[in-house]
Amino acid sequence: MGKGDLQTAPGNPRTARGLSPARCGDHSQVVSRAKVLMPPEIRPIPRHIAEPPHEREPHGRWAEQLGRRFLSACAEIQTDEKLTQPEVDAVDWYPSRSYANRTYVPASAATDEGVEFFGYVSFVRPEHGDPGHFEARADYTHETADENPDWRVDLNEEVIASWRGPGDVTADVTLVWGTPLIPGATVASAEVDEQTVDQCAIVQSDRFTLIALDNLIGFGGYAIYMDVALWNKRNAELARESLYEAEEPAAAEA
């Protein structure tokens, strides 16, 4: 009998590697592997579409190079306000994430005037060679964590691509970066339709970056938005924030 002709006698089941329980050293029982059936999903939402962070936040000359590109994008913001530009050493960097062969490094920079600039620098890193094809995006806000002591997490987001699902379903591929404002957070997760679709460990600078779908349209009569949640080391939820900002209800007329 050849190697491909092994047979199993009735009543003598083999293990996953093709050996009988006796050869595995287990004479008392046979381990049963139950098959778990997973039905098709009603809403096939992609999960974990981006690579996890592979290196620490930029530092040294690399941070200076990215910082100059980010500050150039800040200087190009079209506004009637007179904005004081931040310095390179004032830029805070967040974990990098890669999607569709492009790496995104989010950033933020606060000024003494109560303005916070936020955005990202992205680039393509070939398998053998230096990063290239740089792009930088920036915007600013007066709504800062310092002015909102009730915030539990400070978030920024930017749409970086579009996604088309089955039929007429569409969504925004969204880059989200933020900072926990409460102690004990070890993981940030992105949740869509009560499913965890991305996560990022909070290990180095108490900052995190996520890439996931947001503003899903076509799975019913309403849009589905992303939630960002913070978790502690015991997997207890500490905070949750939606990217959807509900409009303030109109005041009733007297």
Taking alpha carbons only, the member of 182, 234, 179 closest to residue 202 is 179
User: CA 161, CA 37: separation in Å to the nearest integer?
Assistant: 34
| Predicted pLDDT at 72 | 97
pLDDT of residue 174: 98
Best CA proximity match to 41, nearest among 189, 221, 219, 242: 219
- Which pTM value belongs to this model? 0.82
Per-residue pLDDT of the chain (254 residues; tens, 9 = 90+): 444 444 444 554 444 444 444 444 554 455 556 778 888 888 889 999 999 998 888 999 999 999 999 999 999 999 999 898 999 999 999 999 999 999 999 999 999 889 999 999 999 998 888 999 999 999 999 999 999 999 999 999 999 999 999 999 999 999 999 999 999 999 999 999 999 999 999 987 899 999 999 999 998 888 999 999 999 999 999 999 998 865 544 555 54
Q: Where are the domains of the chain?
A: 60-242
Strand segments, DSSP code E, in 84-181 are 91-93, 97-99, 102-110, 116-124, 132-141, 153-164, 170-180
Return the amino acid letter for 87. E
Q: Say which DSSP state 55 is in.
A: S
Provide the β-strand partners of residue 196.
191
Per-residue pLDDT tens digits for 83-101: 989 999 999 999 999 999 9
Cα–Cα distance, 162 to 223 (Å, whole number) = 15
> What is the rounded (10 degree) CA torsion for 17, 23, 25, 29?
70
For residues 131 and 183, give the distance between their C-alpha atoms in angstroms, rounded to a whole number: 35
- The number of C-alpha atoms within 13 Å of 26 and in the hemisphere containing its C-beta is 10
Work out whether strand 153-164 and strand 170-180 pair parallel, antiparallel, or are unpaired.
antiparallel
What does the alpha-carbon distance between residue 74 and residue 116 come to, in Å, rounded to a whole number? 10
3-state secondary structure (DSSP) of residue 18: coil
Q: How many CA atoms lie within 13 A of 226 on its CB side?
A: 30
Looking at residue 17, what is its pLDDT? 42
Pairing of strands 102-110, 116-124: antiparallel
Nearest residue to 64 via CA among 34, 31, 92, 88 = 88
**Cα distances (Å, whole numbers) of residue 32 to 13, 14, 125:** 10, 10, 46
Q: Which residues pair with 107 in a beta bridge?
A: 93, 119
